[in-house]
Structure 1
Amino acid sequence: MVEWLLDGLLVLALVVTAAAALWSAELFRAVVVFIAFGVLMAVAWVRLRAPDIALAEAAIGAGLTGVLLLDAVSHLGGKRRRAHKPGDGRQ
């Protein structure tokens, strides 16, 4: 019973972090939530008894990709994402 509760909470946390990363208005916050999603995904792979995939997810998904995205955000200066609106003069 406790295992089912843990798995349910893990799935809920994965869905919430994925939605938060997608709908975040600030780039830095979106990247941090994406890293948290990668860590949770690694835990999910451990629960599925796939430690090799969990290590790859933690190293590549949360670690390397997270660092590269944080570096990209720092080069952008923390600018907010804005949707392109027709006729606003931006290309």
Structure 2
Amino acid sequence: MGIIEISEIIIGLILILFGIMAVSSKKVLNSIIYLSIMSMLAVVSFVFMKSPDVGITEAVIGSGMATALFLFTLFSAKKEGDK
């Protein structure tokens, strides 16, 4: 096994760990952060699989836009609850 295969396995295990943490977290903000980290790790795994176009799309849509949408919705809902 080379260094690439070992790093793919480690990133895959960390990806699974952050997925479990995102689902089992009690705080919504922590879940959003864990999902963002999970998406960035998916970008790295796509690059390891030699598909950088899918990795770039995941970085823009999954990490960027989805995280921003989740955070905007969370903070908007908190402002509505304050009124």
Root-mean-square deviation (CA, aligned residues, Å) is 1.3
The aligned length equals 78
List structure 1 runs of 4+ shifted beyond 2 angstroms: none
Q: 3-state DSSP class of the match of 2:50? A: coil
Aligned counterpart, 1:21: 22
Quick check: which one's helix share is greater?
Answer: 2
Alpha-carbon distance between aligned partners in 2 of 1:12 and 1:18, rounded to the nearest angstrom: 10
Aligned counterpart, 1:45: 46
Unaligned ranges ≥5, structure 2: 79-83
Unaligned ranges ≥5, structure 1: 78-91
The amino acid that maps onto 2:67 is G
Alpha-carbon distance between aligned partners in 2 of 1:46 and 1:4, rounded to the nearest angstrom: 13
Aligned counterpart, 1:60: 61
Give the alignment's TM-score, normalised by structure 2.
0.89
Give the alignment's TM-score, normalised by structure 1.
0.81
Deviation by residue 1:7-62 (Cα, 9 ceiling, x = unmatched): 11111011001111111100000001100011000111000000110000000001
Task: Report which of the two structures shows the higher radius of gyration computed on alpha carbons.
Answer: 1
Q: CA deviation at 1:76?
A: 2.5
